[in-house]
A and B are shown apart, each in its own frame.
Chain A
């Protein structure tokens, strides 16, 4: 029989080795998987996407910016551009590069798959928002056109991705860029968030952590060079101006839709109190949103809080005559008027 101490040491070594190899994110196996992204086709497609993005935003693309966005050296980027132009996907002009019609349609196909996948993740899975983009970066190179179309049909042919970007149609149509930066609003002006840029990842994660989402209503309170103060769905938020650059908004004009004070949520009801549903936060998506709407949680429905569970959460609500328990995290996202 092996001595117990020796056995324990061997066990410890084996466990550590397995962890080093298979640990999610940091393990050798997942690193190897990530490194395979350096393949040629992936680079070509990522470069096309980057150039298209520049053209869409009316800025100039350079060899350096391509190298920076693809995490390759400038020499490799230059070589890549030559490859693209011999493939007939782009032409070189004096002040930069321009996609040919063929290159543009290739880029749009990749973008369509990317955004469809993000929409799918947002609506049909529980993958957290900060991981949508990186997952789509992988999926866009893997899915075939037929698979992408099947996915689009399955999720109801959406027009926008969850960040508010339009999804190109199968024939490659995409509307011109619209909306303004949040910084363009004057104090007291109201607007809807139409787009939250998902790159760089760290900035996006910070915006998501603030509870911002596409479709949220904002009102500018004050802005200075150091900070921007604004109300989002009535709650005050303070951000650095750099962060607000990632937010695109569209002003709203109709007076009656303006949210002037913080919204009350269903979770704020005391037992026995009644309230009318105003809206379900757009941050609640997919199955959970559909489930609530199926149960009759729609604007105008009157809901009464009936009782709390013995452990305090969830709470049971009377919705259209049925007793339905909802968790606090979900009740927080249903806005009501008492």
Chain B
């Protein structure tokens, strides 16, 4: 009796399996909600429902209005960038003076005093210490200003509205409106921008945002852009227009970065990422007064400190490598000079030169040390005298004209400057960012894609610009 009963139940279940249809899960969610509603309506009393606060409504109306929405956004972002650039100048110079001009000679003296051999002093003090000093002085002040400002806007509730306004543009590129935020964060630091993509809760759009973040010109690259633009673009026009043209060239490169962000996002969403799962919804939280101290703490500790620490860890060995390649000699020449001579024809083909190629390879940990490395390598490869502090010792010059003299002595032309600016925008992410991408995606494949795409684009675009430029000017 019992077995027949069991069998009949099983066979009934087997027939019914095909009757319930394919949307059993929907029905389950609906019935759970219905039950929850019923329980809530019995147990919870709701005071007469409040409409959304008047203040919120009015502010939303202004922020999302057709005419004021975008100008307001550009104005606020411009203020944030201006505060960052202007505010970072003084502390950056102070830190550089302290770490490079005071501590560096003192350390050198200390090492000599205890009788350390010249190569150990060079490796640790000129290599490791200088690389770290440069990264800290260029990176820390802008980040310490930019991130708290950004976090304040986020806390207040403004940034979700920016994503809301920008979504239409990013939707057309196959991306998520919140990518506008991680992209903007990338202007501060790409590693932080990649971490910021955590706010994007759709797998495909998050990957797109991670892979394209490198197209945002990070604060390690701004100084390079400004310096090279002032030397090669500013010099084209009369002095009173120089500042204007320089700024225009740098903003142009940054805009080009945004353009590439959108184009590459679109390409990725149509090809390799076509099949990744995707879902869109964007919550707009109510406005809140920002919590100043908590913001300062989280943005300084969670964002600035972590990123800076990673950068220092990566910069230290790079400093050692930079010192070593300039000081280990094979035959007459150092390793660096061998590489520069060997890669120069390829560099020239791309409209740059061997020095720049080598600088981008050994300065992979941080874009901040590219210019000091380029200067040092130019000096040793052209055997200039009277400038710099010797082989393997990175340096910077206070006057742009002095930098210009060194670069021109190294054979730089307007094309070299232009292509360096393009290559600075389009090359592999710094190793801190690469590591962060790996940590966030847990995938070697996507990390490789994020590294290779901008590098190949940079090489191809520099190559094309160089050929077209030569065709026109000949």
Chain A, range 103-133, C-beta contacts under 8 Å to B: 121, 124-128
- A126-B275, A128-B274, A298-B33 known; 10 other A-B pairs, CB under 8 Å? A4-B467, A11-B467, A159-B20, A166-B18, A215-B23, A300-B37, A310-B70, A314-B164, A324-B283, A324-B284
B171 within 8 A of A: yes
Given contacts A1-B348, A125-B275, A311-B165, contact A330 B64 (CB under 8 A): no
Q: Which 3 A-B pairs have the closest CB atoms?
A: A310-B69, A311-B168, A287-B279
A284 CB to nearest chain B CB (Å): 10
Given contacts A311-B165, A316-B284, A325-B167, contact A282 B279 (CB under 8 A): no
B residues in contact with A2, CB < 8 Å: 349
Contact, CB under 8 Å: B23 / A282: yes
B residues in contact with A127, CB < 8 Å: 274-275
A35-43, A59-67, A225-233, A301-309 - the one binding chain B: A301-309
A44-52, A70-78, A144-152, A288-296 - the one binding chain B: A288-296
How far, in whole Å, are A124 and B468 apart by their CA atoms in the complex? 46
A residues in contact with B470, CB < 8 Å: 4
Q: What is the number of residues of chain B that contact chain A, defined by CB distance less than 8 Å?
A: 61
How far, in whole Å, are A236 and B359 apart by their CA atoms in the complex? 66
Chain A, range 297-338, C-beta contacts under 8 Å to B: 298-300, 306-314, 316, 318, 322-327, 330
A16 CB to nearest chain B CB (Å): 14
How far, in whole Å, are A250 and B474 apart by their CA atoms in the complex? 75
Interface centre among B25, B61, B280, B286 (most CB of A within 10 A): B280
How far, in whole Å, are A131 and B166 apart by their CA atoms in the complex? 31
Q: Using CB atoms, name the residue of chain B closest to A288.
A: B279
A residues in contact with B464, CB < 8 Å: 8, 11
How far, in whole Å, are A312 and B70 apart by their CA atoms in the complex? 12
Contact, CB under 8 Å: A164 / B275: no
Q: How many A-B residue pairs have CB under 8 A?
A: 146
Contact, CB under 8 Å: B22 / A160: yes
Contact, CB under 8 Å: B345 / A1: yes
How far, in whole Å, are A264 and B34 apart by their CA atoms in the complex? 23
A: which residues have CB within 8 A of B?
1-2, 4-5, 7-8, 11, 24, 121, 124-128, 156, 158-160, 164, 166, 169, 173, 175, 214-215, 280, 282, 286-293, 295-296, 298-300, 306-314, 316, 318, 322-327, 330
Contact, CB under 8 Å: B280 / A327: yes
B41 within 8 A of A: no
B residues in contact with A159, CB < 8 Å: 17-18, 20-22, 24
A146 CB to nearest chain B CB (Å): 23
B121 within 8 A of A: no
B470 CB to nearest chain A CB (Å): 4
How far, in whole Å, are A327 and B281 apart by their CA atoms in the complex? 8
- Type the 1/0 row for B202-237, where 1 means its CB is closer than 8 Å to any CB of A: 111000000000000000000000000000000000
Interface centre among A4, A5, A215, A310 (most CB of B within 10 A): A310
How far, in whole Å, are A2 and B470 apart by their CA atoms in the complex? 11
A residues in contact with B291, CB < 8 Å: none
11 examples of A-B residue contacts, CB within 8 angstroms: A4-B466, A125-B277, A126-B278, A159-B18, A166-B18, A282-B23, A287-B278, A298-B30, A310-B64, A310-B66, A323-B285
Contact, CB under 8 Å: B65 / A310: yes
Q: Using CB atoms, name the residue of chain B closest to A299.
A: B30
B77 within 8 A of A: no
Contact, CB under 8 Å: A124 / B277: yes
Name the prevailing secondary structure of the B interface residues: helix
Contact, CB under 8 Å: A1 / B349: yes
Contact, CB under 8 Å: A298 / B29: yes
B: which residues have CB within 8 A of A?
14-15, 17-18, 20-26, 29-30, 33-34, 37, 52, 60-61, 63-66, 69-70, 164-169, 171, 177, 202-204, 271, 274-286, 345, 348-349, 463-464, 466-468, 470-471, 474
A residues in contact with B463, CB < 8 Å: 7, 11
Interface centre among A8, A282, A286 (most CB of B within 10 A): A8
Contact, CB under 8 Å: A293 / B29: yes
A residues in contact with B279, CB < 8 Å: 286-288, 290-291
Q: Using CB atoms, name the residue of chain A closest to B273.
A: A126
How far, in whole Å, are A296 and B65 apart by their CA atoms in the complex? 28
Contact, CB under 8 Å: A313 / B52: no
How far, in whole Å, are A164 and B278 apart by their CA atoms in the complex? 23
Given contacts A293-B29, A314-B164, contact A214 B349 (CB under 8 A): no
Contact, CB under 8 Å: A311 / B52: no
Contact, CB under 8 Å: B282 / A324: yes
A residues in contact with B466, CB < 8 Å: 4
Q: Using CB atoms, name the residue of chain A closest to B166.
A: A311
A residues in contact with B204, CB < 8 Å: 126
Q: Using CB atoms, name the residue of chain B closest to A9.
A: B467
How far, in whole Å, are A299 and B37 apart by their CA atoms in the complex? 12
A residues in contact with B281, CB < 8 Å: 291-292, 295, 324-326
A70 CB to nearest chain B CB (Å): 26
Contact, CB under 8 Å: A313 / B349: no
Q: Using CB atoms, name the residue of chain B closest to A322.
A: B283
Contact, CB under 8 Å: B280 / A288: yes
Q: Using CB atoms, name the residue of chain B closest to A3.
A: B470
How far, in whole Å, are A327 and B70 apart by their CA atoms in the complex? 19
A residues in contact with B280, CB < 8 Å: 288, 314, 326-327, 330
Given contacts A314-B167, A327-B167, contact A214 B64 (CB under 8 A): no
B66 CB to nearest chain A CB (Å): 6
Q: Using CB atoms, name the residue of chain B closest to A161.
A: B22
